[in-house]
Amino acid sequence: MRPSGNHITRRSWTIAHLLLLVGLATCSTSTPPLPQLAPDAVVLAYGDSLTYGTGAGGDQSYPAVLERLVRRRVINGGVPGELSGDGAKRLAALLDEHRPQLLILCHGGNDLLRKRDADNIETNLRTMIGLARERNIPVVLVGVPRPGLLLSVPDFYRKIAREFGLPLEAEVLPQIEGDRALKSDSIHPNADGYRLLAQRIYALMRSAGAV
């Protein structure tokens, strides 16, 4: 028995509807795009000890590893122990000095360790992103987990990334912090941990079209 025309039409509509939903879901989870970096582009990696590379040698910090991966200059703008409020005060001078084509922002970890107010951390991150956007510098945001058993990245990182349309890496630091083999102490990655951090950021940059 041949199916009726109405049945075929309904089935075709259902398939088309499902394909549309899949397409919308794919678009909603895709990485926000970044401008492609020129071969001579400068990237500024900015943050605290996680950017500086505490726990590993200078050439094993994530900015140093990332520089080799992207084949562009990556400046290490990390200061150990820095709070996000101090980072917000320090950033403008570095942006004006180096004129980077991309800012990788990984900040707030020391605030979380000291249990500083989440709204204050969010405000400081927004300030730093605003300083970059005023200079037409795209931003990649790296989420830092709260200390504890769950090692979850606070929601404000995802909130900020959504609002500003930023590529966000929110999985790798919880993974590193939860694996003793990737850490040099209770907080900081070792060389393997920083290598993984650089690789994930590089993968995010590729997904966004920067490299």
Q: Could you tell me if residue 25 is inside a domain?
A: no
Cα–Cα dist 20/14, whole Å: 10
Query: What is the DSSP code (8-state) at residue 181?
Result: G
Instruction: Give residue 146's Cα distance to chain centre.
Output: 16
Among candidate residues 110, 108, 95, 117, the one with its CA nearest the CA of residue 141: 108
| pTM, two decimal places | 0.86
What is the average per-residue pLDDT within 136-156? 94
**pLDDT of 12 higher than 60:** no
Q: Could you tell me if residue 10 is inside a domain?
A: no
What phi and psi, each to the nearest 5 degrees, are found at residue 46? -125, 135
Range of the domain at 202: 40-208
- Stated as kind and residue range, the H or E segment containing 41 is none
**pLDDT of 205 higher than 50:** yes
Q: Could you tell me if residue 143 is inside a domain?
A: yes
Cα–Cα dist 92/131, whole Å: 6
Q: Could you tell me if residue 116 is inside a domain?
A: yes
**pLDDT of 139 higher than 70:** yes
Q: Residue 153's pLDDT is what? A: 97
Q: Could you tell me if residue 132 is inside a domain?
A: yes
Q: Could you tell me if residue 77 is inside a domain?
A: yes
Residue % of the chain over a pLDDT of 70: 86
Enumerate the H helices of the chain as residue ranges.
Answer: 5-29, 49-52, 62-70, 84-98, 109-113, 118-134, 155-164, 172-177, 191-208
Instruction: Name which of 24-28, 37-41, 75-79, 191-195 the model is least confident about.
Output: 24-28
Q: CB within 8 A of 115, min separation 6: which ones?
A: none
Q: Residue 29's pLDDT is what? A: 57
Torsion of CA 18, 21, 23, 28, to 10 degrees: -160
Q: Would you tell me how many other CB atoms lie within 10 Å of the CB of residue 203?
A: 14
Count of domains in the chain?
A: 1
Cα–Cα dist 201/167, whole Å: 10
| Neighbouring-strand partners of residue 102 | 43
- Amino acid at position 75, single letter: I
Q: Could you tell me if residue 84 is inside a domain?
A: yes
Q: Could you tell me if residue 165 is inside a domain?
A: yes
CATH code, 85: 3.40.50.1110
